[in-house]
Amino acid sequence: MHAPHGRDDTHDATYDALVIGGGIIGLVTAWRAVQRGLRTAVADPAPGGGAAQVAAGMLAAVTELHYGEQTLLGLNLASARRYPDFVAELEEASGKDVGYRACGTLAVALDADDRAHLRELHALQQRHGLESQWLTGRECRRLEPMLAPGVRGGLRVDGDHQVDPRRLAAALLVACERAGVVFHRDRAERLTLDGDRSTGAELADGTRLAAERTVLAAGSLSGRLAGVPEAVLPPVRPVKGQVLRLSVPGPYAPFLSRTVRAIVRGGHVYLVPRENGELVVGATTEELGWDTTVTAGGVYELLRDAHELVPGITELPLVETRAGLRPGSPDNAPLLGPTALPGLHLATGHYRNGVLLTPITGDVMAEALTGGELPPHARPFSPHRFAAEHPSPPAGRPSAPAPLAPQEQPV
Ligand code: GLY
């Protein structure tokens, strides 16, 4: 499978694996691929950026369980179990701390409706044999004294932890560089094809990269790369999330000792306290295309809901407001591994679980890139499950979406 390395007549460089998109999913894929001996490159104008720069980093397999997502639960739990070893290996390889914190999560209810919802979640968790404990409002406040007096009860989930996604991205970037991944700091303009086979990509500056296998890992933009035949174009859409960062001035007793979350008036709100005093408050869920504007309404809703949970937050300095784009898929689960187009793989569509699924995505993709197939536990996440929704274009009709505007480049 190995093409000759270096330049040939038609390409500027040749790789075993070319990853389009240098967010945490693209980087972990490249890191694991290069560790398996594949000559690997990443194409991205700003590797280490993307949705990880906004995400809070909850590793919430149990508290974010939803009806109908049992298969995804298995993958989420498997990835959560890999986190401690993954972090140890990555910190060793990069020399960087990724802010992993085994702090647990408390999901609380503010009124009778929230409480009924949490009770249902608890029952669902129990049916799946997951560890969570029902607490009264008083027990919740004993655990987290900053909680509002009106908290009516909650679920203590000691296995849902957190990591700092910005540090995770920075560490993955260094680990990739140290392991020999080549970075092309430019935007992939189009996938290149030779007959019915993907052969690599052309970058915006005209550089042509040949690759035995190309991995499309461009987050919410994965469905927009020119040259990808419609039949294998991933059905991924952007789902906007606005997130705030506050600062707990130190050195004080921790403001919160664990992630605290709730559903307030139907919307999710969560507060993720870091050891360095950062307090991340998220997140809105908005279907507005590639818009990343921070709105007064988004900030207001987050602060209003977070204030109902933890009134003391209004005393804290607000240091950052930002919006990012989750790569949503039709079933909220990722698309991993080979497509029907030989040579083209996907690692995208992670929606709300990109940070959580980073360790297992790297392992699964490395196996697919070296062995040609997904390991059994990842087969339900093959892109083939959506194939029927994307019939092949009629012969002679090229599939060439409009080039992306600069602000829309893969993250
Ligand atoms: N997993 C948290 C979020 O997507 O907002």
pLDDT in tens, 272-292: 999 999 999 999 999 999 999
* Nearest atom in ligand 1 to 326's CA: 4
Q: Mean pLDDT over residues 360-377, rounded?
A: 96
- Distance of alpha carbon 243 from its chain centroid, rounded? 15
Atom number in ligand 1 closest to CA 268: 5
Instruction: Please tell me the predicted confidence (pLDDT) of residue 405.
Output: 33
Per-residue pLDDT tens digits for 142-179? 999 999 999 999 999 999 999 999 999 999 999 999 99
Note whether 362 and 28 are within 8 A (CB): yes
More confident residue, 284 or 372: 284
Quick one: tokens of 112?
A: 């009778």
| Residue type at position 350 | H
Domain with CATH 3.30.9.10 in the chain: 105-158+238-328
Kindly indicate the confidence band of residue 250, based on its pLDDT and cuts at 50, 70 and 90: confident
CATH 3.40.50.150 fits 13-52+167-235+330-408, yes or no: no
**Among 352, 355, 356, 358, residue to substitute to test ligand 1 (most atoms within 8 Å of Cβ):** 352
| pLDDT for res 389 | 54
Q: Return the ligand 1 atom nearest residue 243 CA.
A: 5
Q: How far is the CA of 158 from the centre of ligand 1 (A)?
A: 18
The pLDDT, as a whole number, for residue 391 is 44
The preferred substitution site among 54, 63, 64, 305 for testing ligand 1, maximizing ligand atoms within 8 Å of CB, is 64
Q: Are strands 318-328 and 237-247 parallel, antiparallel or unpaired?
A: antiparallel
Q: Strands 40-43, 182-184: parallel, antiparallel or unpaired by DSSP?
A: parallel
Q: How far is the CA of 326 from the centre of ligand 1 (A)?
A: 8
Please write the tens of the pLDDT for every residue from 192-232.
999 999 999 999 999 999 999 999 999 999 999 999 999 99
Ligand 1 centre distance from Cα of residue 354 (Å): 9
Query: What distance in angstroms lies between residue 71's CA and the mean position of ligand 1's atoms?
Result: 18
Could you tell me which residues come within 8 angstroms of residue 225 by beta carbon, excluding any fewer than 6 positions away? 20, 188, 190, 191, 216, 218, 401, 410
d(CA 314, CA 148): 13
Average pLDDT of the chain, as a whole number = 91
State the Cα–Cα distance between residues 360 and 59, nearest whole angstrom: 13
For ligand 1, atom 4, the nearest C-alpha belongs to 352
Amino acid at 255: F
pLDDT of residue 401: 32
Label the pairing between strands 318-328 and 259-264: unpaired
The C-alpha atoms of residue 363 and residue 379 are separated, in whole angstroms, by: 13
State in Å: Cα 377 to ligand 1 middle. 23
CA-282 nearest atom, ligand 1: 5
CA atoms within 13 A on the CB side of 229: 24
What Rg value do the Cα atoms of the chain yield, rounded? 22
Flag the least confident range among 51-65, 213-227, 245-259, 312-326. 245-259
Q: How far apart are the first and last CA of the chain?
A: 29
Q: How far is the CA of 210 from the centre of ligand 1 (A)?
A: 35
Predicted pLDDT at 322 = 98
- Predicted model pTM: 0.92
In the chain, CATH 3.50.50.60 covers 13-52+167-235+330-408
Q: Phi/psi of residue 89, each to 5°?
A: -65, -40
Q: Measure 282 CA to ligand 1 centroid, in angstroms.
A: 8
CA 182 / ligand 1 centre spacing (Å): 31
**Which residues approach ligand 1 with their CB closer than 6 A?**
58, 241, 282-283, 326, 352
* pLDDT over threshold 60, residue 360: yes
Per-residue confidence (pLDDT) for residue 263, from 0 to 100: 85
pLDDT given for residue 75 in this prediction: 98
Q: What is the mean pLDDT of residues 386-409?
A: 40
pLDDT higher than 60, residue 396? no
Residue 385 pLDDT greater than 90, yes or no? yes
Nearest CA to ligand 1 atom 2: 352
Q: What is the amino acid identity at position 176?
A: C
Q: Is 95 exposed, middle or buried, given 0-12, 13-18 or 19+ CB atoms closer than 10 A? A: exposed
Superfamily classification of domain 105-158+238-328: D-Amino Acid Oxidase, subunit A, domain 2 (3.30.9.10)
Which residue CA neighbors atom 3 of ligand 1 most closely?
352
How many residues in the chain?
A: 411
Say how far apart CA 270 and CA 244 lie, in whole Å: 10
Query: Could you read off the pLDDT of 89-117 as tens digits, one per residue?
Result: 999 999 999 999 999 999 999 999 999 99
Residue 265: predicted pLDDT: 77
Rounded (5°) CA angle 196-201-207: 140
Cβ–Cβ < 8 Å for 172, 28: yes
Nearest alpha carbon to residue 306 among 269, 352, 274, 342: 269
pLDDT band per the 50, 70, 90 thresholds, residue 372: confident
Output the CA 373–ligand 1 centroid distance in Å: 29
